[in-house]
Structure 1
């Protein structure tokens, strides 16, 4: 955390200034100062004095105004009201923000609230709140490659489930569960299998892209987290479909998602912290 962007290195400070100028360029004149001050405060809260332009870009992608007249940025892509640019970075910054004590943060995608798994990890004494100035910026490539293992394991388990149990499953399986955890929509067994396998396989592809990408660490972490969430959801649906459902369904889903995504993000964050420690020791 810094008190002013003037504390940044010259190249990072210039990147921050360009971001601020671009962010308020199309905002109504009477609101520009307030928007700029808010964005500046957010940058200062999330950046360290040693931040690089890449660090600034990673944080900036998740801070630009997303709604209201004149708030879209040049080059942004929108689908059904959702800003696609910076979405993966926003996921990482929302799902894993150990320096923020709040357990719930505004959703990275859409409306509502997401669980801040970083704050949960701090409360469980699994990681220090100030372990990294900007989480995942130092996470090594090897850690991202290792994180592909969980989605890959889940897609294998999902495919094996339908391969082994396919003939004994009912012809119609649930596709949706109500608030009480009871099935209220149904699809054919073949469609259920195709949906679950496609979801988990797509998750593996996203995780593999993250492992081989040269994007900033927070973006790769967001992709890995999203991939883990999708693979976990697909596998959980596979397991839940043949059951009668019940109040345990949403609890099981949320628990599995929290454990899977939280475990992966914790591993990436610890790997990044260890890389920073090794680098600091090597500089002595």
Structure 2
């Protein structure tokens, strides 16, 4: 799944649709305020005596959040600058990419694709290909849950911004319930989270999926954990199928960090 497709579906879920614009400005300056914020896909064209020249991206700097363009050199006085692009009302592309990255990390945590069984050319041995799950190889059935999870990440930031709004009461008795926006956002987040959990439970995906783990035991002779290895198919051979150690985390909340060795025969 391409990041551009995820970003498009995420904007549709948030209602953050694009607003195309085409603006013209007189020349003679090197800084222009476009009057649009959260700009994406900007193109600058310089018009001099009916000749149109597209400015390369490395000849100017765009502050997409504020909608300010800074040119490397001022334009000539008798020129016209045309700005064409897309503006959004809620988030920039970079902000959405951060939400998508967090959602992918949560959704694909410690997950792999189904092993692919194939016969190696030349040797005829049966091999197994293991691949970690990423956004690029995400199964089609899991795209919608991922969009929902990314939407939740974006709404949390919106809810945090709305949490500082307070209700307004005027002397005339007018009441402005500004805190209602925060309540609506939280209710929507809860509804989306319930929807995601339902889909994840039905498909066995996400962090709430059922996991099968192997219990570790301690050797009576050494007092140390007995190593465990990843399971293999009975016909899995070759360098990529050698035993692979599993290293589950060891809880040590009261670990001694002094570095002093423990005596074998007690304190004497």
Determine if the TM-score, normalized by the shorter chain, exceeds 0.5: no
Identify the TM-score tier after normalising by the shorter chain. under 0.3
Which of the two has higher C-alpha Rg? 2
User: More strand per residue: 1 or 2?
Assistant: 2
- Of structures 1 and 2, the one scoring higher in RCO (CA 8 A, sep 6+) is 1
State the TM-score, normalized to the length of structure 1: 0.23
User: More helix per residue: 1 or 2?
Assistant: 1
